[in-house]
Structure 1
Amino acid sequence: MEAVFYLLCAHMNVLTGIMGTGNNQLTNPFGIARDPSLGTLYIADESNHRVMSYLAGASSGTVAAGDNGQGINNTQLNYPVGVYFDSSSNSLIIANTGANNIVRWVIGASSWTLVAGSIFGLSGNTTTLLNYPVGVILDFMGNVYVADRNNHRIQFFLAGQSTGTKIPGQTSISGNTPTLLNNPYSMVLDAQLNLYVADTYNNRVQKFMRC
């Protein structure tokens, strides 16, 4: 009961329940990330094309990334869905879904740098392009994992590299066999770097062992 009460209080502190563009409002929030040292909460405010930052216990947030209108310029976001806090660089790694790319936005900066995908917002199914990426995480080595939803695959990018390697899934082919995915949305790694994937349209979670 105590855990339920705590979660309800946290929910009420952050959200108003009324969509909008105010600093205490969100419109279609999707991904969330948390700075474990400060407790700051980051929310991908998708339809406002921004990521919001909420200090621990705060009822009103500030813009951490975006909020310059929908677009593909490096000061803008385009329907961001996934967000990951990278403590090693004090930055947000954002699945900039509508622009078909993954970007890094350093906390306090006014623009992003490209991590993966097209800087021009182009979609595709090659090793360097993405198609509606919705989830992103990093491992402790800085390698990037992307839930490349419309390509039905998880793309793996070595730290600092822009050419990806498909791990689970088969590019542009959906299915429900153990080697196929159907619109994957999010992922998490365990301590052994085994990968767990929300295989959304297959109504399952798949575990992929690290080789």
Structure 2
Amino acid sequence: TTSTTVTTSTSTTTVTTTTTSTSTTTVTTTTTSTSTTTVTTTIIPLRAPAIEIPPNAKWQQNGVTVAGGNGSGSGFNQLIQPLGLYVDDAQTVYVADRNNHRIVGWKWNATSGEVVAGGNGEGNGTHQLFNPFDVIVDKERDSFIICDWRNRRVVRWLRRNGIHGETTISNIDCFGLTMDDIGSVYVADMKKHEVRRFQRGDSQGTVVAGGNGDGNHDDQLSSPQYVFVDRDYSVYVSDFGNHRVMKWVEDAKEGVVVAGGQGQGNNFTQLSNPQGVVVDKMGTVYVADAENYRIMRWVKEATEGNVIVGGNGRAELLNELNYPFGLSFDLYGNLYVVEWGNNRVQKFNIEQTIK
């Protein structure tokens, strides 16, 4: 995004000429100069890396547990069936701790988390959440935006000293959500098989992907889960029931397949119940291939993907993933994966030299 500032300065010069007669002639000259300053701001989509990741980049195969990993439970060092996540600029990890009905923040290198929203038992009160599925941070308004799934609402929760949330969207079966650079919120509605964009102050939203019933045609989705929006406002959605990732450019009437779409399976051309999806500057798609227990990378316009982490089974070893769901990068290209089955978040550090 480029913003331009124009500065105009005006100077006036007065020249007085006296003749030998009694008349005086005054000449006024006005000079206007204009200078233009161009300021370029780079937009980093939510969950995307700030750096340019080459298509052959590699990540360490053993993850580092940065949240949970201490069994299933409600302690501050535990999670129960976590789903979505958001990583901020300070590498604090915010996790939708589904069955603890709370959002928990884990600061960099912390051994336990801090409840930042909910945590007051399941319920529909303004101070409660009920099976939250996803969370993002609205930096401009210093607040969390949360998919409060069982309450069929999206809530905004103040980031500092927030003791209750405000419902911003009602009657929606929200699974995943994200936000673009102008503050519009995008929500995947898994039961209506669509993604809606909600501009500020809009409670109804506009369909930007799907919305034509449950199906596998290019204008349809089947139980969409997670959503990503790039700098061009193209929408990428994990089309769970169709085992594919779809891209819908702005104002499109149908999408195109950018990963999977060859039926359910574990070949490199296939996905099995995809979840979190992130796209980098190069257009490379990264997707949590949940029931293949791996993270796949699909380079732009590729016909097959490759495994970047996981794919080694579904136990608790550091190179294994047990139902990966939420997916995010930090600014430096490190990859974060929520493991629903292992009640933890794993960080996989990037190891290849980057541009």
Q: Same fold (TM over 0.5)?
A: yes
Q: Residues 3 and 52 of structure 1: is their aligned pair in 2 closer, same or farther, counting only changes over 3 Å? A: closer
User: For 1:7-26, what aligned pairs fall within 5 Å after superposition?
Assistant: 7=157, 11-14=166-169, 16=170, 25-26=171-172
C-alpha separation between the residues in 1 aligned to 2:185 and 2:303? 28
Once the two structures are superposed, what CA deviation does each residue of 1:102-154 show, in whole Å capped at 9, x if it has no partner?
010112111001101025xx101011100000110012222111000000000
Deviations 1:143-185 (A, max 9, x none): 11100000000001122213111111116x2111000000000
Establish whether residue 58 from structure 1 lines up as the match of residue 207 from structure 2.
Answer: no
- Any conservation in 1 of the 2:156–2:167 contact (CA below 8 Å)? no
Do the aligned partners of residues 118 and 104 (structure 1) sit closer, same or farther apart at CA in structure 2, a change above 3 Å counting? same
Alignment of 1:69-148 (within 5 A): 69-87=213-231, 89-118=232-261, 122-148=263-289
1:71-93: CA deviation from partner (whole Å, max 9, x where unpaired): 00001111000100011x32101
Gapped runs of 5+ residues in structure 1? 17-24
Tell me the matched-pair count.
196
Distance 1:10 1:90, change over 3 A: farther
Amino acid at match of 1:129: Q
The unaligned stretches of length 5 or more in structure 2 are 1-115, 117-141, 145-154, 159-163
Aligned-pair CA distance for 1:199: 1.4
Name the larger-Rg structure: 2
C-alpha displacement at 1:67, in angstroms? 1.2
TM-score, normalising length: structure 2: 0.52
Decide which of 287, 290, 294 is 1:153's aligned counterpart: 294
For the structure 1 residues 51 and 11, does the alpha-carbon distance in structure 2 shift closer, same or farther, using more than 3 Å as the test? farther
CA RMSD of aligned residues (A): 2.1
Q: Is the 8 A contact 2:322 2:341 kept in 1?
A: yes
2:322 is aligned with what amino acid? N
Compare the two structures and name the one with the higher helix fraction: 1
Three-state SS of the structure 1 residue aligned to 2:317 is: coil
- Partner secondary structure for residue 116 of structure 1: strand
Structure with more of its chain in strand, by fraction: 2
Higher relative contact order, chain-length normalized (CA < 8 Å, sep 6+): 2
1:38-94 Cα shifts (integer Å, max 9, x gaps): 21110000111000110012222121111111000001111000100011x321011
Identity %: 35
